[in-house]
Structure 1
Amino acid sequence: MVRQKHFIYVGCFLSMAFPLCVVFLLLVSYHESDGNLRFASYYGDHMVLQKSPEKAVLWGYGPEGAQVTCFLSGPVKQSTLPATVTKGIWRVTMDPVEAGGPYNVTAAIKGSNATLTDVLFGDVWLCGGQSNMCFETFKIFNASEELALAAKYPHVRTFMVAMDLSETELTDLIQIELPWSVPTESSVANFSAVCWLFGRYMQANLKYPIGLVESCWGGTPVEAWSSSRALQKCGLEANNDKNRNSVLWNAMIHPLLNMTIKGALWYQGEKNADYHQDKYNCSFPAMIDDWRMAFHQGSGGQTAADFPFGFVQLSTYEKGHTDDGFPNIRWHQTADTGYVPNTRMPRTFMAVAMDLPDETSPYGTIHPRDKQDVAYRLTLGARAVAYHEKDVPFQGPFPQQIMSNQTYVSIKYDQTVSVTPFKDIFEICCSGSQAPCGPTSHWVPAPIMLWGPTNVVLSAHLCPSTTVVAALRYAWTDWPCDFKACPIYSADGILPAPPFIFVKGQ
């Protein structure tokens, strides 16, 4: 019936009678629930529910006025207080359950029940974005070896939302692409590589179950994943065009809000390199803020109001490309700060990926196949920000102090650096006036001259003698360096320095 509803929905969406169709579908959903006790769409056998100290939320459909009680059986037993089915929907909040399992979860009314089997309690992570988040595990480097490991991680469970859109906020998913699954080669093969690898690495570190919920769509802008509230904060709400503001938020995120989650991962931004690029420093942080608020409210306060949010800074697309789209979006992904977390984006973490290009990717250079390093860098951020592990380095070097004169530019970094001289990845803006430096200004290479444990000295000799160094930027191109060959890394050579731009007086 779910797939039949999907076809009806698509027909409605394409028709002129969309409002009437929505009412019809709501009536269909209500009719289905009459006398039929069941869980909402994204509950299922083999699922992971959020462990303590948070409480898992359960909800579903049933006959109007019925009293629904949920029972947990397994290593721990518990039952909830009865919940009354109102407008066809019931909802309960369980007491906290420690990580582990397996459990059976049963919803019961007089004369009927519905049971979920092999349920685990652990941490639930939502994975969203566009094609690089959707990029399947079977496409990555060493895919056969990775897929052969899948069955060795039975406590990493996967669920995939189907691609659908809606003009209104939906209560439940239209359809499901992959129900909750114990990992096998075939189920992991078509699942998000970044999401799967993150979950696998985290489960190996945490030693308890991880639930992964994939909800992504290739080639989509951030506006489609944002509520009208978030868009309004950035002056984007009234913009009506082919990208359909909020349609993916409505269909693929809003139905999940009742779910208690630990955190979210995000890989998106390529689309916004040529669509509302200048607004991304507002629209992306606003989306994060709004998701946090909505998941907190939707779960009855169980999902943290500031849940950890990790994202991948854009990798590469076109070698030799002079357009500033990708570097501008990389900068805007940090709310124009250059690193996270920061005051505008608290409890966030970022995986820098500009040093992971893939010139021979059969899926296009915009889709690099090395997702292992991406996921690993995300796990470092998660361990530090989400799990508060001490002494876990997760940020690459960032300038702490910049000084310049007409001869040189000196950069003091916030940590020990590993340096490989690289001719033109640093650039300086030479200005003979007080006008601020911008994309059309006179930018010239600033070669690395000297370096020490925390310092890099650049030559400013290419600036004309009548000008001064008014700004400095690093890695400000689409494709700044070859694979793992950027000039500035952390002392251990693992974490690349992120791109930055520094303008005097700002």
Structure 2
Amino acid sequence: MNKLYMFSLFWSLCVTSVSAQVNLLPIFSDNMVLQQQTQAPIWGESKPNKEIEIITSWDQKRYTIQADVRGKWKTKVTTPAAGGPYDITISDGKKVKLSNVMIGEVWVCSGQSNMEMQVEGWGKVMNYQQEKEEANNYPNIRFLLVEKETSPIPDDRLKATERGWQVCSSKSVADFSAAGYFFGRDLHKYQNVPIGLIDTSWGGTYIETWTSKEALATMPGMKKKLDVLNELPITKEDRERKFHSDVEDWKKNVEKIDKGFVNSKAVWAAADLEDNTWKTMEVPGLMQDQGLKGFNGIVWFRKTIDIPAKWVGKELTLNVGVIDDNDFTYFNGVQVGHTEGWMAPRSYKIPKELVKKGKAVIAVRVMDTGGTGGINGSPESISLHRSQLDVIPLAGDWKYQISLNIKDIPQMPVNTANEPNVPSFLFNAMLNPLIPYAIKGAIWYQGEANTGQAYQYRELMPLMIKDWRDRWGYDFPFYMVQLASFTAQQTVPVDATWAELREAQTRTLHLANTGMAVTIDIGDAFDIHPKNKQEVGRRLALVVRAQAYGEKIPYSGPMYDTYQIEGNKIRIYFKHTDGGLKTQNNETLKGFTISGVDHKFHWADAVIDGNSIIVSSPEVAFPIAVRYAWADNPICNLYNGVNLPASPFRTDDWQGITYGNK
């Protein structure tokens, strides 16, 4: 199959009309939304040097352009005030007609899983069934869902579900971003214009992958990560081959320092190894609960059994439960299985020629890369079988020995063929193809993946915004969701990575034309994906309605402004105190801590005094700093009169626990 045919086949999947010569990305399709009252770019491909004619039905204007020597063409069309439906006809001798085109407001919705979380799909927000049915009432909201792709270089191709824009309905909303949809629904209600929402998001992703290589290169700390990109093959297939080659090299390097190997031979798997000095561990069970608290690395396990005479020369099945993370499994010194992957069930065949009467040793080399690890599962899942009824149970005491600590193991290669968390990969594949489609602005829900590097996020967040704006060519509005609460609630004043990430998000508001929706009160201690995405969308829409569209409405909860030390108390002043400061149900204020010169924080008494709050503690005679809602999942209850929560804050600038993390 030649390259020309492959190229043509790809474009046939992306075009609106397979019979036409004009090729369009899915962003130009039936049901699309163009940004109102602007010069909206339209681009595509045809034959080299071919003349292209575009006719817009709202004004019957004709645009004529010529494709370049590669067949690429681009122009801009003048869009009217919001309305529709309209048609756009594009022809190079054969016509492509785009129907049911609306003119309105276009927003990009991006981030990680809390933006990706669908109305139904894997997310299932509150009242999702009712929300699905009511979606049929909003046909002038349109969705473009970008498919997940990665690329080491900027790509101009685009894949989208249903090959283009979809009209809002119970079917199309089911797998679309819930936060994006509820945001767009509120804008549609209050602005009374068609809304186009472009969902380009991927769960679990770092902000670095959504930022261009050129922008990241301006940060000295990124040089080492970016240098790796220069060595990557362009095609996914070549990156897959490189990964497997790198893994084999990595395994050999680890074997050189693993005490269980001598001259590349797994001596700790041998049947005649003397293991009387090895310690004993109950299997199944977590290593960290059985004498290896806090340990990560490589541990060898051994189990000695007796093979009955009737099993000799028979193929056997060895089940080793589920293993966290990776294993190499041996039978009498011969490797019979290897699996990469956290908690995947292990089942391996023992060749009949290895099955001999008498003593046999099963050895499992377990690599635990973080958190808890070991041989887990049910006792029944750890066994040796000749048949379903002929079984030797293996659960119980196993010998074990540590061979290598994780800190001494070289970093394992990353499979860049499908791994999204590589700097610039998602910018290249899922954002760059959208540029320069005319948009009103962008909403962003991300940060959970970067909590361990919260100080660095202070630079990464504004850098990414500027990067996007520079490439679009204008400073469009950009609005973010501050991280919701998560994990167990605090019981003592603590330092917290999530608190530092929220602070980094708040600091981004110094960048012009940005805003933030605070969600500290609608998180879930046990679910990183809280279900109340309706309120997330509503709060985002409040900010946008006020800042981007000029509505005279309250749009933010109390935001820390300044403080003043008054003897043994500190007075905190706020912005956005619309309707006054309050707590829900007139409860006592919670979530405030106070510190003296020893930098030790204590729970504080806090009292509302007009539009300020007075904070004190009998344990702090001379206070110098106050913090509010400073935890991963804080207990806090400060609101303004329009029931919007106060943003977490601190008055100090003392070095945080993520300082210096890259």
TM-score of the two chains, using structure 1 as the length reference: 0.83
Task: Give deviations 1:384-422, integer Å, cap 9, x for gaps.
Answer: 111122x21112112333122552222232332123554
Equivalent of residue 616 in structure 2, options 459, 463, 477: 459
Q: Would you say the 8 A contact 1:395–1:495 is kept in 2?
A: yes
**C-alpha distance in structure 1 between counterparts of 2:459 and 2:86, whole Å:** 43
Question: 2: CA distance between counterparts of 1:25 and 1:324?
Answer: 51
- Indicate whether 1:255 and 2:433 are aligned: yes
Aligned to 1:246: 424
Equivalent of 1:418 in 582, 587, 592: 582
CA pair 226-201 structure 1, distance change in 2 beyond 3 A = same
Q: Does 1:387 align with 2:531?
A: no
**Unaligned 5+ runs, structure 1:** 9-20, 297-304, 433-440
Deviation of 1:225 after TM superposition, in Å, equals 0.3
Question: Given the alignment, which residue of 317, 332, 343 partners 2:504?
Answer: 332
Instruction: Deviation per CA, 1:306-333: give whole Å up to 9, x if none.
Output: 1011110000220236561111000001
Tell me the equivalent position of 2:651. Answer: 502
Say whether residues 1:356 and 2:536 are aligned partners. no
Q: Match for 2:116 among 134, 149, 155? A: 134
Deviations 1:410-452 (A, max 9, x none): 22323321235546511112215xxxxxxxx41111122x323
How many Å apart are 1:258 and its aligned residue? 2.1
Structure with larger RCO (C-alpha < 8 A, sep 6+): 2
User: Which of 191, 200, 222 is residue 185 of structure 2 equivalent to?
Assistant: 200
Q: Report the more deviating stretch, 396-405 or 166-175.
A: 396-405
User: Which amino acid letter does the alignment assign opposite residue 491 of structure 1?
Assistant: G
- In terms of fraction of residues, the more strand-rich structure is 2
Alignment of structure 1 residues 219-368 onto 2, 5 Å = 219-240=204-225, 242=414, 243-274=421-452, 276-296=453-473, 305-320=474-489, 324-335=496-507, 340=509, 342=510, 345-359=511-525, 365-368=527-530
* RMSD between aligned residues: 2.7
* CA distance in structure 2 between the aligned counterparts of 1:31 and 1:394, rounded to whole angstroms: 46
Answer yes or no: is the 8 Å Cα contact 1:104–1:116 preserved in 2. yes
Alpha-carbon distance in structure 1 between the residues aligned to 2:596 and 2:629 = 17
Deviation (angstroms), 1:28: 7.4
Matches within 5 A, 1:388-407: 388-389=550-551, 391-405=552-566, 407=568
2: distance between equivalents of 1:205 and 1:423? 34
Query: Given the alignment of the two structures, is residue 64 of structure 1 paired with residue 48 of structure 2, yes or no?
Result: yes
Distance 1:175 1:183, change over 3 A: closer
CA distances 1:196-245 after superposition (whole Å, capped 9, x unpaired): 11111101111111000000000000000001122123334324285310
Equivalent residue number for residue 238 of structure 2: none
**Secondary structure of the equivalent of 1:214?**
strand
Residue 26 of structure 1, CA deviation: 6.8
Equivalent position SS for 1:346: coil
Counterparts of 1:102 and 1:31 in 2: how far apart (Å)? 26
| 8 Å Cα contact 1:55-1:97 kept in structure 2 | no
Cα distance in 1 for residues equivalent to 2:649 and 2:6: 49
Amino acid aligned to 1:503: D
Change (3 A) 1:469 1:145: same
CA contact (8 A) 1:161 1:252 kept: yes
1-structure distance, mates of 2:503, 2:133: 38
Give the residue type in structure 2 aligned to 1:499.
P
Alignment-derived partner of residue 79 in structure 1: 62
| Superposed counterparts of 1:74-223, under 5 Å | 75-110=58-93, 112-138=94-120, 139-174=124-159, 176=161, 179-223=164-208
Q: Distance in 2 between matches of 1:460 and 1:353?
A: 28
CA deviation after TM superposition for structure 1 residue 379, in Å: 0.7
1:27 deviates by: 8.9
Measured after TM superposition, the shift of residue 115 of structure 1 is 1.4
Contact (CA 8 Å) 1:35, 1:63: kept in 2 or not?
no
Report the Cα offset of residue 140 of structure 1.
0.8
- Secondary structure (helix, strand or coil) at the match of 1:56 reads strand
Higher-Rg member (1/2):
2
Q: Which runs of 5+ in 2 are unaligned?
A: 229-413, 415-420, 656-662
Aligned residues: 447
Q: Percent identity?
A: 32
Deviates more, 1:145-154 or 1:418-427: 418-427
Decide which moves more: 207-216 or 112-121: 112-121
Structure 1, residues 250-303: CA drift from partner, whole Å, max 9, x if none? 0000010120111000000000012x332100001110011011112xxxxxxx
How far apart are the structure 1 equivalents of 2:131 and 2:67? 46
